[in-house]
Amino acid sequence: MESNRAGQLTGKEIHGFRTLQDLDIPSILEEAKMRWLRPNEIHAILCNYKYFNIFVKPVNLPTSGTIVLFDRKMLRNFRKDGHNWKKKKDGKTVKEAHEHLKVGNDERIHVYYAHGEDLPTFVRRCYWLLDKSLEHIVLVHYRETQEKTILLSNAYH
């Protein structure tokens, strides 16, 4: 990753945002209430985390649209947010799915996501870069998805 010179964002050749103004954080935060962040937006934020507030304590009961950054080296229990997440069959461990997201042609972002136990349409996504030098910074996005399960029996009526 190149160093930051004259207001240029680190990693601009990968995520495509040259400056913070190009990234337009106020718009992203407003849109985050209605959509998930795009991989290039996540990459830009994580590569340039020094421009943002890093939370030192877990957020208690964050609402839909909330986005927070944590440093996993400083706060290991950042996922203890007060919400009740679906558990694995053991009844103790949170059931999280794991994926990698591409920025351009390469996988660059790791994502864990969990669904609410009490409200299955409420989802938490935790993102961090696969780059070993930056994997300690985590972006967490909470969102009410409004996705409904359509029963097949309804399609025939």
C-alpha distances in angstroms, 15 versus 4, 29, 39, 92?
Answer: 14, 18, 8, 37
Average pLDDT for 23-37:
95
Tell whether pTM > 0.85: yes
Could you give the CA distance from residue 75 to residue 67 in angstroms, rounded to a whole number?
16
Give CA–CA dist 102/36, Å, rounded.
15
**Residue 154: pLDDT above 80?**
no
CA distance linking residue 101 with residue 106, whole number of Å: 8
The mean predicted confidence, pLDDT, of the chain is 90
Is a pLDDT exceeding 60 seen at residue 65?
yes
Longest alpha-carbon distance in the chain:
62
For residue 5 the two structure tokens come to: 């010179």
